[in-house]
Amino acid sequence: MSDQVSLYAPGNTGLHRLHPLTKLSLAGFALVAALAAPGIWGSYLLVALYLLPLAVWGGLAIRLANSVWRIVLPFAISVFVVQSLFWTGGTPILHLGPLSVKAEGLTFALASTGRILSMVTAFLLLTFSTRPDALMIALTERGLPPSITYIVLATIQIVPRFQARAQTIIDAQQSRGLRLQGSLIRRGRALIPLVVPLVLGSIVDVEQRAIALEARGFRRQGPKTSYLRLDDSSAQSAVRLLLVGLSALAVLGRLALVLAA
């Protein structure tokens, strides 16, 4: 599958060969566990002891790390600046003129960054190791309405589609003499010739995809066939049930801690 329509990284590792629903269950458990993990370091341990070994198993560790830090770093910086400097009350540990860094704000920012890191890592690991069409077929085979499966597929593909279209527009505008380097004012002016075609092109793309789906019988009732065959096993089914059970236990454990506090 082309990199222009998906973040999927082709491979023949054990992780790649898992059923799409198994990989979805692995990512889902990571999301639930990240939100339910107590303390500051629970989410970081989840990444180190659960998600990172999965990435190594799938041969995706380097690619995953390069993508995760680019996404998480801006969030982390903003969270630390806002929460540490503008935390209401709290214990000051460092004074910066009229502002002060609060210990409680740093603790909250550290815990929030860990949750963001876990969720982003889980989502990217799923998208890197799973073909979107395979995931859509797997969900459809389990009885999920085609409209819902298409929303899932479109969500996974929206970022690479926007990147590919934006790069095409940038190349076209530069070939016409548009300068993207220079001062902030020049760069700001260059945004209009880039944003307008991107937005309009995305609207046209949505219409074209809708027409293509209708031409292929997207709303047709009854069973449908596919050239792509998904192999499943009883062992993977058991793993999925186990992950669902662990997710439920994580939620119940978190609720118990909240009520006991």
Residue 212 resides in a domain? yes
205 and 255 co-located in one domain: no
Residue 138 resides in a domain? no
Cα-based torsion angle of the residue sequence 112, 118, 124, 128 in order, rounded to the nearest 10 degrees = 170
Structural domain harbouring 77: 1-130+232-261
User: By CB neighbour count within 10 A (0-12 exposed, 13-18 middle, 19+ buried), where does 146 fall?
Assistant: middle
118 and 244 co-located in one domain: yes
Q: Is 226's pLDDT higher than 80?
A: no
Report which of 133, 122, 186 is spatially closest to residue 10, judged by C-alpha positions.
Answer: 133
Q: How confident is the model at residue 2 (pLDDT cuts 50, 70, 90)?
A: very low
Residue 221 corresponds to which amino acid? Q
Contact 70, 116 (CB under 8 A): no
Contact 15, 57 (CB under 8 A): yes
Report which of 63, 59, 54, 66 is spatially closest to residue 30, judged by C-alpha positions.
Answer: 54
Terminal C-alpha separation, the chain? 50
What domain count does the chain have?
A: 2
Report which of 45, 56, 62, 67 is spatially closest to residue 15, judged by C-alpha positions.
Answer: 56
Residue 108 resides in a domain? yes
Two tokens, residue 228:
């792509």
Q: How confident is the model at residue 120 (pLDDT cuts 50, 70, 90)?
A: very high
Q: What average pLDDT does range 122-133 have in this prediction? A: 91
Helix (H) / strand (E) containing 102: strand 99-102
List C-alpha distances in Å: 155 to 21, 49, 119, 195, 209.
17, 28, 15, 20, 14
Compute the distance between CA of residue 144 and CA of residue 259 in angstroms, rounded to an integer. 35
Q: How many CA atoms lie within 13 A of 148 on its CB side?
A: 8
23 and 83 co-located in one domain: yes
Residue 149 resides in a domain? yes
49 and 97 co-located in one domain: yes
Residue 226 resides in a domain? no
The pLDDT of residue 121 is 95
Residue 103 corresponds to which amino acid? A
Q: What average pLDDT does range 90-108 have in this prediction? A: 84
36 and 120 co-located in one domain: yes
Q: Is 33's pLDDT higher than 90?
A: yes
Residue 206 resides in a domain? yes
pTM of the model: 0.78
